[in-house]
Structure 1
Amino acid sequence: MSVARRERAALVATMRGTGPDAPTLCEGWSTRDLAAHLVVRERRIDAAPGILIPALAGYTAKVQEQVTAGNDWAELIDKVASGPPAYSPFAVLDPLVNVAEMFIHHEDVRRAGTNWEPRVLDDETVKALTRQVAQFARMTLSKSPARVSLATPDGKVLATAGKGAPVTVTGEPGELLLFAAGREPAQVTLRGDDDAVAALRAARRGL
């Protein structure tokens, strides 16, 4: 089983446990909303572009509301669990594009609760997440008010992006990915000029 599929299964198991009305780190979204988002992303090719393109976001939001209203919780979760259908581009790209998606959204559910701890990840998962850091950084940190270096605790720089005074963000690959995605509970440390660190913390990150 691929890392993406394992993370999907873990996300589904966590969401089944929390139920449809639990909070997530996605602002304004419950677990029901998050499940509907994943269904739209993988099953509604007409609406998925609006997830990334602001001009199309209104249509995507309308479709997501329809998906939420038209499926009960069990149906939504079953659709997430079954993965992308054969007609979806994600059916082929799943091992490549869903590692970060499933990991981040799993943590969105886990870390919105109380008494959470970072998971201990196996080597294959860590390697897969490591490969995602640079790609995410290019998308989310290119307009950063600081020159951000994302580095592991052993000093390996996985990505550099943005302009300005240098700031080094240090953490495990999964935590760096969460930081790049704008998730504030990411377990990272920031080192650099105080003003640059403050500006980076205040800047919007994520997609």
Structure 2
Amino acid sequence: MSNFAQSERQRLTVLLRAAGPDAPTLCTGWTTRDLAAHLVLRERRMDAAAGIRLTPLAGWTARVQEGYRARPYEELLRLFRTGPPVLSPFALPGADEAANVIEHFVHAEDVRRAGEDWQPEAPGAALTEVLWRRLPMLARMEAGRKTPVRLVLRRPDGRAVTVSRRTGAAVEVTGEPGELVLFAFGRGARAEVTVTGPTDAVEALRVVLPFE
């Protein structure tokens, strides 16, 4: 059975190492060192990881992340590459694959697409289908809570996911599954997608999910 979370973990490690600790990423305000510290914290410090989502705990998360950030960069990469420790929830059977395929894919592209000379690079067919299967739930969690308009994500072959069922005319975003994942996670400015719909609705969407 393929383990896409693991293969994307290794790809992300390679990209982080090649970029070095001070390279930009698509995570606003974060260098590659910041991103590496975040990845390690998320799997190894569950007491601090909650602050990634919960604003009242964000200060504690930032302090713990800064502690990791101060460690040697190569140590952070080793901790991330070797995966979660035995006592981490991410080490439970199936948890890594369930929780990390999209996480690792998005962050790998955060590193790869941060430079001005990046080129499109489609994931393999099998990973593409995994991303498509995971997209509906995650897009509704990420993009659905932000968008002020009815939003539909569509593949070039016509298959579509309705992310937000708000009233009014729909805005459609068309692209390959990996590109739609990046759009839903706020990376639309570097995603290869086409956005169509009424001008006012498209502009309202652009405010919360920027795109070219």
TM-score (norm 1): 0.95
**Distance in 1 separating the partners of 2:190 and 2:149:** 20
Q: Where do 5+ consecutive residues of structure 1 fail to align?
A: none
What secondary structure sits across from 1:85 in the alignment? coil
Question: What's the counterpart of residue 103 of structure 1?
Answer: 105
C-alpha deviation, 1:204, in angstroms: 4.7
Tell me if structure 2 keeps the 8 A contact 1:130–1:158: no
In 2: Cα distance, 1:62 partner to 1:165 partner: 44
* Runs of 4+ deviating beyond 6 Å: none
Matched, 1:188 2:189: no
Instruction: State the partner residue of 1:51.
Output: 52
2:79 matched to which residue of 1? 79
Identity of aligned residues (%): 50
Q: Please report how far the alpha carbon of residue 158 of structure 1 lies from its aligned counterpart in structure 2 after TM superposition.
A: 2.8
Cα pair 2:40 2:76 within 8 Å, conserved: yes
The corresponding residue for 1:172 is 176
**Alpha-carbon distance in 1 for matches of 2:162, 2:16:** 31
Amino acid at match of 2:43: E
TM-score, reference length from structure 2 = 0.92
Structure 1 residues 162 and 68: CA distance shift in structure 2, 3 A: farther
How many corresponding residue pairs? Answer: 204
Contact 2:143/2:185, CA 8 A, preserved across alignment: no
Which AA in structure 2 matches 1:178? L
Contact 2:25 2:31 in 1 (8 A): yes
Aligned to 1:128, which of 127, 130, 136? 130
